[in-house]
Amino acid sequence: MQILTWNTQWCCGMDGVVSVERIVRQALDMGAAAGGLDVLCLQEVAVNYPDLEGVPGDQPAELRALLPGWQLFFGASVDEFTPQGRQRFGNVIATRLPVLQVQHYPLPFPAEAQMRCMQRMCSVLTVSDPMLGPVRIMTTHLEYYSALQRMAQARALRALHMQACALADTPPQAASDGSPYQTKPHTRHAVLCGDFNFEPQDPEYAELAAPWAEHELPGLKPGRWLNSWSVLHPGAPQPPTFRLVDRTWGPEPSACDFIWINDSLSAHVRAWQVDSATQASDHQPVMLTLG
């Protein structure tokens, strides 16, 4: 399974040109060298923001047209009606694999006076992989400006995954009656990717990576999130994914785009790759191969 994550900055490149086609082409080209992408996770996808640089239009519609044969799911963390009309901003998960379940979870948004911020969310797609079976693909984009909100969101992502693991460890009553109670594809196998807006030395990283114990939730067995880069390269710093070209947001390149895996997938990590050359966004795309 090839999974690529990319904060697209509404598909606005370092040249100021908004091009959904360029993002898709470069992502598919990156995956082609490894046998072809199976899952594409994009953050900062926009609908109707004429005041943003490059004037993005209906980007989910453009993505659907550029990915024939794929299923595409847009989770809008911001969905509002303004003088510009309906405006939406959020994350996309697209896949060629069979889809079993779709879920969208708003993340915590604690009040903080005079802080520039917006609602954040996590989109979850459970897909069926021929070898691994059901796998939950989770993508998110955490708050940039507020450390308070970012920590609350990291804790929520950990709790959300723990809940899913507890359901896999202690399944609810099975049902095949065709009702909404029918059996769901509960699984520990999960991938969490996106732009986390924290770095490996930050407390939010440690919070998300903290192991969990049985006593934290009824029916839960011990486990943890693992940074897939560190599975392959223990102790080595992850290559930077942000500020390689544009230093507006800081003086040095940094790693803030991660692909986390549940520890049940650690033996399946085969390759990790970042495209450090592309300037189609202010972030770099990262790809994980599970096998």
* pLDDT for residue 263: 97
Whether pLDDT at 3 is above 80 = yes
pLDDT of residue 247: 72
Mean pLDDT of 263-275: 98
Tokens of residue 12, six digits: 């606005």
* 279-288 pLDDT tens trace: 999 999 999 9
The confidence band for 175, taking pLDDT boundaries of 50, 70 and 90, is very high
- State the pLDDT confidence band at 95, using cuts at 50, 70 and 90: very high
Q: Is the confidence at residue 50, as pLDDT, over 90?
A: yes
Q: What is the pLDDT of residue 34?
A: 76
The yes-or-no verdict on residue 169 having pLDDT over 80 is: yes
Over residues 191-217, mean pLDDT:
95
pLDDT at 128 over 90: yes
- What is residue 141's predicted lDDT score, i.e. its pLDDT? 98
Provide the phi-psi class of 44: left if phi over 0, else alpha when psi is between -120 and 50, else beta: left
Token code pair at residue 234: 């223990």
How many CB atoms within 10 Å of residue 79? 13
- The fraction of the chain above a pLDDT of 70, given in percent, is 100
The tokens describing 3, both together, are 């999974």
pLDDT digits (tens, 9 = 90+) for 5-44: 999 999 999 999 999 999 999 999 999 987 899 999 999 9
On the question of pLDDT at 217 being above 90, the answer is no
Report whether 8 contacts 91 (CB < 8 A). no
Give SS3 for 186. coil
Delineate the domains of the chain, giving CATH numbers in brackets: 2-109+117-169+185-290 (3.60.10.10)
58 contacts: CB under 8 Å, gap ≥ 6: 47, 48
pLDDT range class, residue 214, cuts 50, 70, 90: confident
Confidence band, pLDDT 50/70/90 cuts, at residue 2: very high
Confidence at residue 246, expressed as pLDDT on a 0 to 100 scale:
77
Q: What is the pLDDT of residue 23?
A: 98
| CA–CA gap between residue 18 and residue 281 (Å, rounded) | 9
Can you tell me the mean pLDDT for 218-227? 93
Q: In what helix (H) or strand (E) does residue 157 lie, and over which residues does it extend?
A: helix 147-169
- CA trace torsion 125, 129, 135, 137 (10° rounding): -40
Would the CA dihedral through 46, 50, 56, 61 be positive or negative? positive
